[in-house]
Amino acid sequence: MGNCIICGKPVDGHVCEFHQEDVAFEFEGTSPSELVPSRYYRGTVDGYADFGLFVDIGDHVTGLLHRSELDRRLESLEYESGDSLYVQVLDVRDNGNIDLGWSIRQGEDEFRGKVIQTPNGQVLPEARENDSSGEDREATGRTDVTPETSTDVAESSTTDAAPEASTPEPAPGTDSSEAASEPDTSGATVAATADGESTVDSAALGDTEPPGTTEPEEPTTLNRTSVESLENQVGSLIRIEGEISGVRQTSGPTVFELSDETGTVECAAFEEAGVRAYPDVEIEDVVALEGEVERHHGDLQVETEALNVLDGERATTVRDRLEEAIEQQARPTIVAPLADDELVDSVADEIVDAATAIRRAVMEARPIVVRHSASADGYVAGAAVERAVLPLIREKHTRDDAVYHYFERRPLDGQVYDMDAATGDVTSMLEARDRHGEQLPLVILVDAGVTRDSADGYELLDIYGADRLVIDDSRGDPEITDSVSVAVSPSLAGEERDLESITSSVLAATVAAHVNDDVRGELEHLPAVSFWDGVPDVYADLAADAGYDETALQERREAVALEAYYQSYKDKRELVADLLFNGDGEGPAEGDLAAHVAEQFRAKLGRELETARENLETVDVDGLEVAVLDTAAFIHRFNFPTTTLLLDELHRDGSETVTLGLGEDELHVRADDPVDVRALGGAIDDAVPEAGVCVVGGRDGYLEFLSGEREAVRQAALEALGETLA
């Protein structure tokens, strides 16, 4: 029994339950289960992620300080790896994950006391300083142990026999050409030979026979095993060969990501705290690694004993094995569209090529970044790719949170992959490469990026060697095919007819079904969700067979359109999945959530439509009826719906052939027959050269101009439309 160092109340330990938050704790335990929720602990920065900060609280004990818990933007933090900070433990989950909260107090002197938490109890710093043995006798009850007797115990323990070696069964995926079996040599000395093989010093296994009484044994070579078989080898010493796909330095060990033909595993190697182990080993090196399989926060991890870079014939053999496996796994096993569609058939080869590129990125443990427009079609299309890829990432990696590290959706402002978007992506990928040792990503443009407006952005990615592909239903520019590895676009395949009968979601869902045939059934309703008007019968029937009637499709379309508007720069992964896909028993029912959000969509859109209709001006241009809306005056620019969504709905409901949305410096066109906005922009520029007219987004885009020439642009646009469509 002791007394609380804050209030003096008798307690077990040194802090009462009412003053846990007034004390800074130093954690010396080795298991998350030893942490006490609500306490404040001193930690060190382990690394950054898009969703927060990883903080080491103790040896092999790391928690996540989510960005929502911070008192400032994540991007404004100036912590470097290894920097000290104080955090509050909010929760320790059953799987060992630790949720952390921000501490306003960021200095030891700001707390009212300090306590060291050991596996055996609590120790005051001053008691630790006075106890040369470093053992809290009061906490453990061993008040009779003196430094001398402690030494005797330690010496006697070193004479105990080593644990008896066990012989594990050969794991699945082992190389049958190598040795048939290998004893479990945890605690043995592992030495690497010049050609990358490893040997085990049998003397380290606890053999107590006097020297010279037995014949010396030949060193035993570890079998090569595979990453997928590690699940059954926890506690065993293993050898794996593969390619280094990532390296990151923590405040403790160096963590290497090693990929073989069956998966990827993290391997921790320790030199000393914060010091790079095996500094000559880099990404894309072919290596042989030996170590013990353990679980770290529930994830499989190999504690590295030896790591050697292979070269020559050995490296070539491993690379050939990896390449052969990747080629076999990357090519889709089933090639079939979701439905009979001539426009989809026109890009059948490109769909297979795109699916192969995506699957290959997963096999090579490369991150995938999906960029899509912040529209209903863009979000549905991006979610289709996401739905297919995430299960493959879970299969490939042993980390539970790999789906957040290796796949990301980033909505775009518009349908152009401009230099602003490309610069942001390049900055992120270079930071991830330099700080966390990640490979360069595969960048996928969905419902965007098919016109020459995106060429500069692609060129920046190309300079750094980042692969890219595009999936888009818009009318594209042929030269863009030279800027990407694969272009899934009927327009670029030579199809110009009936492009209104296809959406980017149709193309993306078809690609996704080829990426992962296991989720094909979950994707069948997505094409129908993406059509605002006139859902093709083949996709309506496909959705009906999947259990989605017309009302269900409309609710999901409207719900996604509304959520796409709010925080349009965020992927909203879980929310979008809840809206589009059948749930797994957690969270709200899919239909209930979609119906609720869709009701808000209709209410907000209805109010704006009423105002817009009252202020439409109908103009007759040589017999052509054109509805003109002054969007600068009669639209709430910073409220839902967006200008484009409102104009789409106005034109669908109106009787006019053409609808013009004239903003302060933008002009949007909607017409029954497709209008080449690029040609329209050229005509206006000829008529009003001082207006600085430019086209954004190609033939299906919109016009920008100088606001001072607004009326002249309006008149020139009406005249040009009259000449073109009348």
pTM over 0.75: no
Residue 642, Cα to own-chain centre: how many angstroms? 28
559-588 pLDDT tens trace: 999 999 999 889 999 999 999 996 544 556
Region 537-556 average pLDDT:
95
CATH class of 334-524: alpha beta
pLDDT higher at 496 or 277 = 277
- Tell me the C-alpha distance between 396 and 515, whole Å: 14
What does the pLDDT read at residue 203? Answer: 37
3-state secondary structure of 185: coil
Query: At residue 205, does pLDDT exceed 80?
Result: no
Residue of 87, 398, 380 lying closest to 262 (CA atoms): 398
Phi, psi of 243, deg, nearest 5: -115, 140
What does the pLDDT read at residue 588? Answer: 62
Residue of 633, 658, 635 lying closest to 645 (CA atoms): 635
Secondary structure letter of residue 469 according to DSSP: E
Region 390-405 average pLDDT:
86
Region 655-661 average pLDDT:
88
Peptide bond into 210 cis (omega under 30): no
Which of 153-157, 219-223, 384-388 is least confident? 153-157
What does the pLDDT read at residue 312? Answer: 92
3-state secondary structure of 118: strand
Do 506 and 527 contact (CB within 8 A), yes or no?
A: yes
Edge-first strand order for the sheet with 486-488 is: 407-412, 368-373, 442-446, 467-471, 486-488
Residue of 564, 532, 534, 552 lying closest to 649 (CA atoms): 532
What does the pLDDT read at residue 1? Answer: 64
Neighbour-count burial for 661-674, b at 16+ CB within 10 Å, e otherwise: bbbebbbbbbbeee
What does the pLDDT read at residue 589? Answer: 62
Residue of 636, 573, 641, 651 lying closest to 602 (CA atoms): 641
Give the tokens for residue 628. 């003109």
Share of the chain residues as helix, strand and coil, in percent rounded to the nearest 5: 40, 25, 35
Which CATH superfamily is 2-147 part of? Nucleic acid-binding proteins (2.40.50.140)
- Tell me the C-alpha distance between 267 and 398, whole Å: 11
- Tell me the C-alpha distance between 67 and 63, whole Å: 13
What does the pLDDT read at residue 183? Answer: 39
Rounded alpha-carbon distances, angstroms, from residue 351 to 121, 360, 441, 493: 61, 14, 20, 12
The answer regarding whether domain 189-207+217-322 maps to CATH 2.40.50.140 reads yes
Where in the chain are all domains bearing CATH 3.10.310.30?
615-725
687-702 pLDDT tens trace: 999 999 999 999 999 9
Looking at the DSSP assignment, which residues form a beta bridge with residue 299? 296
510-521 pLDDT tens trace: 999 999 999 999
365-375 pLDDT tens trace: 899 999 999 99
Q: If pLDDT is split at 50, 70 and 90, which confidence band does 70 have? A: confident
Where in the chain are all domains bearing CATH 2.40.50.140?
2-147, 189-207+217-322
- Tell me the residue type at 699: R
What does the pLDDT read at residue 6? Answer: 81
Rounded alpha-carbon distances, angstroms, from residue 677 to 420, 496, 636: 23, 15, 25
pLDDT higher at 434 or 383 = 383
- Tell me the C-alpha distance between 388 and 168, whole Å: 36
pLDDT higher at 463 or 534 = 463
Region 108-118 average pLDDT:
88
3-state secondary structure of 302: strand
Residue entry with tokens 């949170």: 401
Fold annotation for 615-725: Diaminopimelate Epimerase; Chain A, domain 1 (3.10.310)
- Tell me the C-alpha distance between 86 and 106, whole Å: 6
Residue of 372, 407, 416 lying closest to 504 (CA atoms): 372
Query: At residue 664, does pLDDT exceed 50?
Result: yes
Query: At residue 507, does pLDDT exceed 90?
Result: yes
DSSP string, 321-351: HHHHHHHHHHS-S----SS--HHHHTTHHHH
Query: At residue 212, does pLDDT exceed 80?
Result: no
- Tell me the C-alpha distance between 573 and 379, whole Å: 10
Query: At residue 194, does pLDDT exceed 50?
Result: no
Rounded alpha-carbon distances, angstroms, from residue 181 to 166, 170, 177, 207, 678: 11, 6, 11, 20, 70
Looking at the DSSP assignment, which residues form a beta bridge with residue 671? 658
Percentage, residues of the chain above pLDDT 90 = 55
312-365 pLDDT tens trace: 999 999 999 888 888 888 889 888 999 999 999 999 999 999 999 999 999 888
pLDDT higher at 468 or 396 = 468
Region 31-60 average pLDDT:
87
What does the pLDDT read at residue 198? Answer: 44
- Tell me the residue type at 595: A
Do 403 and 390 contact (CB within 8 A), yes or no?
A: yes
* Mean pLDDT score of the chain: 84
- Tell me the C-alpha distance between 579 and 586, whole Å: 13
Edge-first strand order for the sheet with 220-221 is: 189-192, 198-201, 220-221
Query: At residue 215, does pLDDT exceed 70?
Result: no
